[in-house]
A and B are shown apart, each in its own frame.
Chain A
């Protein structure tokens, strides 16, 4: 069984994230990392691989992004993935979700996969649409936002905690699966894992390798256009009181009443 995990390199949420002059997200000028939510996808893939009785299951991680995005692959390999694929091409810069899903789908086809695993959202864009778009493009069933996954032969069963109900969903491979941060507890790379990662194969591919025309991706090919952006003005400093002799509750209620919440 082959499992392909899509992992994204994202700017650190704790750093000051910003935009480039062309309105794209600055991925180079700020500290970045493997998206934390994709660690859950890598972990789930490793669990499925290790439970596979044939012993022949393989986990490949796939990322699309600039040179430094390789760090996302490396971290996944350190956790225990077997190989990496890095799609790197100047023309990709500025791609939206539609173009990103096109590139990832072609790369998945080239690899072949019984299970395509994704995170529930990227921590920068947070659109949560790539897995659905991938399923659409690959013509595979989608089982997304899984909080619990069981694989038995070619049947995948997941629990999805939705807005109004909890659902159990079943599908057969090949399929696209995404997991939430409830699904598992991602492992930390061990020293052994870190050493082993250095020897694992990472393949670099360009758009040409995937048979994708440059004009189909990137900022120009985007089906949406950012017209403007503005940094949110800092909130004006609020009133802070210290609760002494129970006065805090009085002041809180006064404030809420003045704002007509009570």
Chain B
């Protein structure tokens, strides 16, 4: 069976949930082989094995980690050349898509970005994408080269299965040309103790309607074990950091439950949350467009509703 290369997304060796999802998808298509860039394979090994990696290619070089995307694309292209995989799967985040874009040109291979599903199909893979702010679903295939697909978070539920995890250290030659954009400083974001926004099963977001006070939003999120998000209006006002913005120019989330509090539901916000399974909104304006999307809506003051709902949710838990 042919290999399916999965580029591992990790933070200092902590493997992200999206990688477990990619390994799960890879099993539908062939034999999952993880590609790990960096020096922390000891931290990552168990997780990769646990989600079915039959093989792990380890590329440990400062050339790869100290520069922006170009060296990573070059290294992957060399692996594609030597291993001839049936497909390459990469997480659909900014860096992943850029690596994929370069890899596509380098290997003369078709590229599909932001897939929400990938299945084995005639002559390769068939992907599903959600386009125009979730208004359409499109199914596509790759007609040239090695299919390169970037996959959005929450495309599948990760299924554990032990893989052989045969490890192979790979040396690659990185050209001087690929090392021209240097990362001169890196500040890791402080952990909040809450789940990652684009991995969370539940997201509670606040907008302009919070008036700048996110306490009720955060308390409700914590009662549900949820991640906290924000609209751009709330981010632009300086009430919440940009890393938590949901929407076209922020994160795209697709949780089981999305709660929008004091958010009107502008098209750019919808673009980042419309594929959520269940949508709930609290808004004091009954005419607000967000109510067109909801499974359940409360017309009322968000501070009051969330404060009381938090108490009730916690009471039910105990």
Q: Which residues of A are in contact with B by a Cβ distance under 8 Å?
A: 13-14, 17, 19, 23, 37, 97-98, 101, 120-121, 123-124, 126-133, 135-137, 139-145, 147, 157, 161-172, 175, 180-182, 222-232, 235, 238-243, 246, 248-253, 255-257, 259, 261-262
The 4 closest A-B pairs by CB, nearest first: A243-B300, A223-B110, A129-B101, A249-B308
B98/A132 in contact, CB under 8 A: yes
**Can you name 17 extra interface pairs (CB under 8 A) apart from A128-B97, A163-B95?**
A162-B94, A163-B94, A169-B68, A169-B182, A171-B181, A175-B180, A224-B143, A226-B138, A227-B141, A228-B138, A229-B139, A238-B296, A240-B286, A240-B296, A242-B300, A252-B296, A257-B316
CA distance A101 to B267 in the complex (A): 28
Among B102, B143, B189, contact of A166 (Cβ-Cβ < 8 Å): B189
- Tell me the minimal C-beta distance from B204 to chain A in angstroms: 11
CA distance A169 to B312 in the complex (A): 48
Among A19, A123, A136, A224, contact of B142 (Cβ-Cβ < 8 Å): A224
B60 part of interface (Cβ distance < 8 Å) = no
Among A123, A157, A230, A262, contact of B136 (Cβ-Cβ < 8 Å): A230
B186/A242 in contact, CB under 8 A: no
A13-B133, A135-B70 given; A262·B224 CB < 8 A: yes
Interface size class of B (residues with CB under 8 A): 35 or more
Among A164, A175, A180, A250, contact of B249 (Cβ-Cβ < 8 Å): A180
CA distance A159 to B280 in the complex (A): 35
Residue ID in chain A nearest B108 by CB atoms: A223
Residue ID in chain A nearest B191 by CB atoms: A164
B256 part of interface (Cβ distance < 8 Å) = yes
> What chain A residues lie within 8 Å of B185 (beta carbons)?
167-168
Among A226, A240, A255, contact of B140 (Cβ-Cβ < 8 Å): A226
A252/B298 in contact, CB under 8 A: yes
Q: List 9 A-B contacts (CB under 8 A).
A: A127-B114, A133-B105, A141-B68, A143-B68, A166-B189, A223-B142, A240-B291, A241-B299, A252-B296
A163/B140 in contact, CB under 8 A: no
A241/B143 in contact, CB under 8 A: no
A13-B267, A141-B180 given; A235·B256 CB < 8 A: no
B39 part of interface (Cβ distance < 8 Å) = no
> What chain A residues lie within 8 Å of B293 (beta carbons)?
235, 238
> What chain A residues lie within 8 Å of B164 (beta carbons)?
none
A226-B139, A227-B139, A231-B135 given; A171·B94 CB < 8 A: no
B98/A253 in contact, CB under 8 A: no
- Tell me the minimal C-beta distance from A250 to chain B in angstroms: 7
> What chain B residues lie within 8 Å of A141 (beta carbons)?
68, 70, 180-181
